[in-house]
Amino acid sequence: MGFWKNLFSGSGSSSAPTLATAEVPVTQGVGRISKTPAPKLAQPQICFSQDREIDLYELERLCDAVGWSRRPLRKVRKAIKHSFLVISMWELQGDESRLIGFSRATSDHAFNATIWDVVVHPDFQGRGLGKALMKQIIKELRRADISNVTLFADPHVIDFYCELGFAPDPEGIKGMFWYPNSR
Amino acid sequence: MGFWKNLFSGSGSSSAPTLATAEVPVTQGVGRISKTPAPKLAQPQICFSQDREIDLYELERLCDAVGWSRRPLRKVRKAIKHSFLVISMWELQGDESRLIGFSRATSDHAFNATIWDVVVHPDFQGRGLGKALMKQIIKELRRADISNVTLFADPHVIDFYCELGFAPDPEGIKGMFWYPNSR
C-alpha cells in the first residue's frame, strides 16, 4: 500500500478538487506534461495520509496558524494514539513535505464516530481542501461501517458542514457539553 | 479492587440517591438491621460496575424494555470493547443480579469523551438512578482527566441532562449528524 493518496496536482487552482483514488509515491513527483523536465519534479502536490506519523511540533505550528489554544503535546500524542481515524494533509514538493491539514475521529469502531480537530492552514484555505479532507474522513468512516458520523461545529463553520451533508440538531437532538462546577 | 460499587441500599425509596464510594462484595449482601437474619441477605441492592462483563442478551432485553431499535450483537460487542468507559447498573438480591442500567463513552483518552446509550430499565426509573449513573460516568471521565465531556440528547431528555450540568449549544456550538446520500 502506498503511503500517500493524491488529492490533485498543482497548488494554484482555485477550483474545488475532486478526490483521486490513485496513490502516488511521494518521491517520484507527478506533474503536468512539460517540455522541460525540471519543473515536473518541482510541481507541488497536495496529498493526504492515514498512516504517516505526525510530528507534534509541526501539528502545533499548524494549529497555532489558525489561532487554536495550545495543548500539552503529551496529551495530543495520547489523543492521536487513541483516535480511531487520523487523516493528515500535506503539500509535497520534491523531497519536502509540509503538514497543511489535519483531522481525526473518535469511535466505538461499530456505530458512532465523532470528528474532532479539523484544521486547514490559512495559506491553503479557499481551495476546497477542507471539503476534500472532510469527504475523505467521511469516506473512511463509512468504509468502516460506522453509521452515525457526528461532530460539534463552531457557529462560523456550521454552513461549511451543512454543505457536506451534516444536519444540525436533527429531530431535535441537541449536542451538549458538561461544565465542571455547574452542579 | 472490589467488583461492585454500592449506590444505595433498598429499592423502595423514591428519593434521589447519593453516590456511595464504598465497595461491597456482591456475595455478602448488605441489608438493614433486622431481627430475622434471612431478610438481611434477601435485601435488594442497587450497585454499579465498570468491570463486569455484560451479557449481550441481557443488555438487549434492557434496551428492548425502553423501546430501542435492535442492533446486531456482533456490533454491540465491538462497540463495548472499543468504548473508553462502560458503566453498568445492577439490582443484586442474594446471589441473583439483574442488569437495570447501562451507559458507555467513547474517548480519545485525553481531551474529549462522548457519552452514548444511557439506559435505565423502566421498572427502576423515577428514583434518581439515571442521575446516579450519569454522575458516576462523569466522575470517571473527570478522574481520567478528560476535560470535554459531551453527548447528543434526544429532545425529551435535554432537561434531564441540563440538571446534571450539561449545556446545549454552548457558545453556539452545534451538534451535527451526517446523513448518507444527502450529498
- B173–chain A Cβ distance below 8 A for any pair: yes
CA distance B24 to A183: 27
CA distance A87 to A54: 10
More confident residue, B183 or B15: B183
Q: Distance from A16 to chain B by nearest Cα, in Å?
A: 15
On chain A, the residues whose CB falls within 8 A of the CB of B153 are 173-174, 176
DSSP 8-state secondary structure symbol assigned to residue A157: G
Contact criterion met (CB below 8 Å) for B148 and B114: no
The strands making up A166-168's β-sheet, listed across from edge to edge, are A5-9, A45-49, A85-93, A96-107, A112-120, A148-153, B174-178, A166-168
pLDDT score at B14: 34
**Local confidence band at B13 (pLDDT 50, 70, 90 cut-offs):** very low
pLDDT above 90 covers what percent of chain B?
73
| pLDDT > 70? residue A175 | yes
Amino acid identity for residue A107 in this structure: S
> Angle at Cα B131 formed by Cα B7 and Cα B17, nearest 5°?
40
CA distance B45 to B26: 9
CA distance B112 to B114: 7
**Local confidence band at A14 (pLDDT 50, 70, 90 cut-offs):** very low
Say which residue the cell 432537561 belongs to: B159
Residues 6+ positions from A36 with CB-CB distance below 8 Å: none
- Asked if B166 lies within 8 A of A151 by C-beta distance, the reply is no
Q: Which of A75, A167, A180 sits opposite B176 (nearest CB)?
A: A167
In terms of CATH, what superfamily is B5-170? Gcn5-related N-acetyltransferase (GNAT) (3.40.630.30)
**Local confidence band at A41 (pLDDT 50, 70, 90 cut-offs):** low
Spatial CA neighbour of B161 closest among A173, A80, A35, A48: A173
* SS3 per residue for chain B: CCCCEEEEECCCCCCCCCCCCCCCCCCCCCCCCCCCHHHHHHCCEEEEECCCCCCHHHHHHHHHHCCCCCCCHHHHHHHHHCCCEEEEEEEEECCEEEEEEEEEEEECCCCEEEEEEEEECHHHCCCCHHHHHHHHHHHHHHHCCCCEEEEEECHHHHHHHHHCCEEECHHHCEEEEECCCCC
pLDDT tens digits, A126-174: 999 999 999 999 999 999 999 999 999 999 999 999 999 999 999 999 9
| pLDDT > 60? residue B136 | yes
- A159–chain B Cβ distance below 8 A for any pair: no
**Average pLDDT of span B21-26:** 32
- Between B39-48, B66-75, B139-148, the lowest mean confidence (pLDDT) is in B39-48
pLDDT above 70 covers what percent of chain A?
76
Spatial CA neighbour of A80 closest among A60, A44, A105, A57: A105
Q: Is B57 a catalytic residue?
A: no
The answer to whether ipTM exceeds 0.85 is no
pLDDT score at B120: 98
pLDDT score at B43: 81
> Angle at Cα B144 formed by Cα B138 and Cα B82, nearest 5°?
85
**Average pLDDT of span B9-20:** 36
CA distance B84 to B44: 29
| pLDDT > 90? residue A34 | no
The sign of the CA dihedral B15, B105, B123, B53 is negative
**Average pLDDT of span B5-24:** 38
**Average pLDDT of span B56-72:** 98
Chain A interface test: which of B80, B81, B85, B108 (most A C-beta within 10 Å): B108
Does the A5-172 domain belong in CATH 3.40.630.30? yes
pLDDT above 70 covers what percent of chain B?
76
Q: Which of B148, B167, B174 sits opposite A153 (nearest CB)?
A: B174
- A169–chain B Cβ distance below 8 A for any pair: yes
pLDDT score at A43: 81
pLDDT score at B71: 97
- Asked if B154 lies within 8 A of A169 by C-beta distance, the reply is no
**Local confidence band at B10 (pLDDT 50, 70, 90 cut-offs):** very low
- Asked if B108 lies within 8 A of A104 by C-beta distance, the reply is yes
**Local confidence band at B42 (pLDDT 50, 70, 90 cut-offs):** low
The domains of chain A are located at 5-172
